[in-house]
Amino acid sequence: MRILVVEDDLVLADGLIRALRQSSHAVDWAKDGIEADRVLANPVHDFVILDLSLPGISGLEVLRRLRQRGRHLPVLILSARDAVEDRVKGLDLGADDYIGKPFQLSELEARLRAILRRGQGAAQPTITVGDLEYDPSGRRVTVDGKTVDLSARELTVLEILLMRAGRIVSKEQLLEHLYDWGEDVTINAIEVYVHRVRKALTASAVSIRTIRGLGYLVEKAQ
């Protein structure tokens, strides 16, 4: 998953980015409201962690402009402004959740997962396709109850495809959501990761189909 962290506190931003990358997310950073607004005009992110007290324009204004564009990606507000009226204003403008500073990283990550589950219309903490089950919290894949061993990158590729099960995901989308800005990668790398995931799932009832000229589609095998 590709996450945009919007935070002007350099120490906090660095800690967040490190922790999220350790969880195999691709993470970009915007240090002020103007940069965040510019970045969010390009629809490549899956999730936004947004501070409110930002230089340039406020986090609430960033959120308002994002929703005015018709963008529905999840937004988690992370702010020291923890009064009830601030929470209400942020949620009314379209935020999906609101955490006050200071906070525990484990809670932030749990809320992130919960928001994503709600967006998929799933109350359960796992994603299931055929006999495959994926637990985003533990980042564990099982087929018929048996654990499937995947590298961090392979697991992230599968996660992206599973979160869009039944929909075509292009190679360009996989690139955008796998890698941070400035990281030198190629389409060939994506093809290699998909090949390895397919091989690992050979015994499962899950198919990763190549849709020529469009991308990949995860579905229950026929």
Which of 9, 12, 63 has its CA nearest to residue 36?
63
Within a 13 Å sphere around the CA of 190, how many CA atoms are in the beta-carbon half?
20
**CA triplet 143, 145, 146: central angle to 5 degrees?**
70
Domain 127-220 has CATH 3.40.190.10: no
Domain 2-119 has CATH 3.30.70.260: no
Q: What is the pLDDT of residues 150-202, one digit of tens each?
A: 988 888 889 889 888 888 999 888 887 776 655 666 788 889 999 999 999 99
Query: Could you give the CA distance from residue 76 to residue 179 in angstroms, rounded to a whole number?
Result: 21
Q: What is the pLDDT of residues 131-145, one digit of tens each?
A: 999 987 778 899 988
Mean pLDDT of 211-221: 90
Mean pLDDT of 74-95: 87
Q: What is the pLDDT of residues 1-49, one digit of tens each?
A: 789 999 999 999 999 999 888 877 889 999 999 999 999 998 888 899 9
Which of 130, 155, 128, 148 has its CA nearest to residue 201?
148
For the chain, domain boundaries:
2-119, 127-220
Q: What is the pLDDT of residue 112?
A: 87
Mean pLDDT of 203-217: 91
Query: What single letter denotes the amino acid at residue 160?
Result: I
pLDDT band at 120; cut points 50, 70, 90: low
Backbone angles phi, psi at 147, to 5 degrees: -70, 135
Pairing outcome for strands 2-6 and 26-30: parallel
For the ranges 49-58, 93-102, 171-180, the lowest mean pLDDT is seen at 171-180
Report helix, strand or coil for 34.
helix
